[in-house]
């Protein structure tokens, strides 16, 4: 079986759902259920015997150690993190605790576990660390996209904490021989995306008649990838990636925030027209910029394309339409997240 951490969050939940749709191999899903962890994401597999959910933290050495020894996973995929840049600006502490200390404890538990295994097990074991393109910092408009050789220049507490975790993963490979793989992916979007992030926030605010906030001039560039394509890249790296290597993952979809927001408004105008015939674009409002806002991210995905023969299956046009359709069809999920009622269920379940 495999162990997934952070599998109740946006990307982790998509990964677990896709994994069980494609494989019979069971998944142990370790998630601390922070505000970003939502068990409703896992409703469809809640009673599936191949899915074992454990509420707990990657920073809990004893818990992770016990899980590893009882389940003996052949691989661990580490999605667990604090992931929102704006939250890291308001309160960096949790980012240090989870992304740095948590990853460190997880690595320590794996190191102890592998030391007690035979060579065959150690040879085939993999630790895949899910990271971000934000560790590379900000690109000038005419600079080449980030390759795996790009220098780390993180600019936010979030990206600095992810960079630190990447360095720890690398060091555990070089020092202790841990069989690690690291992926650095660009901005994801798709189903189960928490509506504090740009794309789901815009859809939610538009439909609720609220202001659609664009930071600064809206000309910041992000490289968008449909979440299921990120999950397929992770599966490919797990299956074929070379131990100790890092792989950049991206969709070659560089877009300004303003054009993403305009596209979302246009799709909503078509699929859920306002009764008065106005466009959702009228709700757009330019607000104060994020401090230290990175201007441009872009991923050069040549290595994973060339060495592992991976390609995304969605273009931005197809992926974003599917995403809007998912949010329109799942208004109860959005309502439970935005009203906070998904927490009540978690509290009842885990009181
Ligand atoms: P998310 O915030 O939606 O989910 C994070 C999950 O981790 C939640 O379920 C949360 O409960 C859990 N978690 C938090 N602290 C934990 C702890 N100490 N122990 C166990 N579980 C804990 O994040 P996401 O967008 O799904 O991102 C997943 C990973 O992918 C992160 O490592 C992030 O850095 C990386 N990433 C995200 C993006 C993106 O666009 N969202 C892009 C590239 C990489
Ligand atoms: P976000 O979804 O928070 O992802 P990240 O900061 O990890 O790239 O933001 C994506 C971009 O959208 C980023 O440039 C900040 C911008 N943004 C807005 O303009 N308005 C918003 O309300 C939010 C949440 C983000």
Domain ranges of the chain: 2-189+226-251+295-313
DSSP label of 144? P
What tokens appear for 141 in the block? 């408009």
Strands 51-55 and 75-78: unpaired
Q: Phi first, then psi: what are they for 209, rounded to 5°?
A: 75, 20
Q: Which residue among the candidates 133, 223, 229, 294 is catalytic per the annotation?
A: 133
Strands 221-223 and 254-256: antiparallel
pLDDT at 177: 98
Question: Cβ–Cβ contacts within 10 Å for residue 331, how many?
Answer: 11
- The yes-or-no answer on residue 134 being catalytic is yes
Question: Is the distance from the beta carbon of residue 32 to the nearest atom of ligand 1 less than 6 Å?
Answer: yes
- The yes-or-no answer on residue 247 being catalytic is no
255 forms beta bridges with 222
pLDDT at 333: 96
In a 3-state reduction of DSSP, which class is residue 137?
coil
pLDDT at 350: 66
pTM over 0.85: yes
Per-residue pLDDT of the chain (351 residues; tens, 9 = 90+): 999 999 999 999 999 999 999 999 999 999 999 999 999 999 999 999 999 999 999 999 999 999 999 999 999 999 999 999 999 999 999 999 999 999 999 999 999 999 999 999 999 999 999 999 999 999 999 999 999 999 999 999 999 999 999 999 999 999 999 999 999 999 999 999 999 999 999 999 999 999 999 999 999 999 999 999 999 999 999 999 999 999 999 999 999 999 999 999 999 999 999 999 999 999 999 999 999 999 999 999 999 999 999 999 999 999 999 999 999 999 999 999 999 877 776 677 666
What tokens appear for 6 in the block? 């952070």
Q: Give the ligand with the smallest distance to the CA of 285.
A: 2
pLDDT at 76: 99
286 forms beta bridges with 214
Class of domain 2-189+226-251+295-313: alpha beta
Q: Give the ligand with the smallest distance to the CA of 89.
A: 2
d(CA 80, CA 93): 16
Q: Whose CA is nearest to atom 4 of ligand 2?
A: 197
Q: Whose CA is nearest to atom 5 of ligand 2?
A: 85
Nearest CA among 179, 308, 320 for reference residue 249: 308
- The yes-or-no answer on residue 280 being catalytic is no
What tokens appear for 15 in the block? 């990964």
Question: Is the distance from the beta carbon of residue 31 to the nearest atom of ligand 1 less than 6 Å?
Answer: yes
């Amino acid at each position: 079986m495999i162990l997934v951490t952070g599998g109740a969050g946006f990307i982790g939940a998509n990964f677990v759902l896709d994994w069980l749709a494609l494989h019979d191999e069971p998944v142990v899903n370790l998630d601390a259920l922070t505000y970003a962890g939502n068990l409703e994401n896992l409703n469809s597999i809640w009673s599936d015997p191949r899915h074992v959910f454990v509420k707990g933290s990657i920073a809990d050495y004893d818990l992770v150690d016990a899980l590893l020894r009882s389940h003996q996973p052949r691989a661990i995929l580490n999605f667990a993190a604090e992931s929102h840049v704006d939250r890291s600006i308001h309160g960096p502490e949790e980012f240090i605790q989870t992304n740095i200390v948590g990853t460190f404890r997880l690595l320590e538990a794996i190191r102890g576990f592998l030391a007690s295994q035979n060579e065959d097990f150690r040879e085939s074991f993999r630790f895949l660390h899910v990271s971000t393109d934000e560790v590379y910092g900000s690109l000038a408009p005419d600079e080449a996209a980030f390759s795996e050789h790009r220098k780390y220049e993180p600019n936010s507490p979030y990206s600095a904490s992810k960079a630190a975790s990447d360095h720890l993963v690398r060091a555990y490979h070089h020092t202790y021989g841990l069989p690690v793989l690291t992926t650095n992916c660009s901005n994801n979007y798709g189903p189960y995306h928490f509506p504090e992030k740009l794309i789901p926030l815009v859809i939610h605010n538009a439909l609720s008649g609220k202001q659609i906030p664009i930071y600064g001039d809206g000309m910041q560039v992000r490289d968008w990838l449909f979440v299921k394509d990120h999950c397929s890249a992770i599966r490919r790296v797990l299956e074929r990636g070379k131990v100790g290597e890092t792989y950049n993952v991206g969709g070659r979809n560089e877009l300004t925030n303003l054009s993403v927001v305009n596209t979302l408004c246009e799709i909503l105008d078509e699929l859920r027209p306002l009764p008065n015939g106005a466009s959702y674009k009228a709700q757009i409002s330019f607000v104060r910029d994020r401090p230290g806002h990175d201007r441009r991210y872009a991923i050069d995905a040549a290595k994973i394309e060339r060495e592992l023969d991976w390609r995304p299956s969605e273009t931005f046009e197809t992926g974003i339409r599917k995403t809007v359709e998912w949010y329109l069809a799942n208004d109860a999920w959005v309502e439970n997240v935005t009203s906070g009622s998904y927490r009540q269920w978690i509290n009842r379940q885990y009181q």
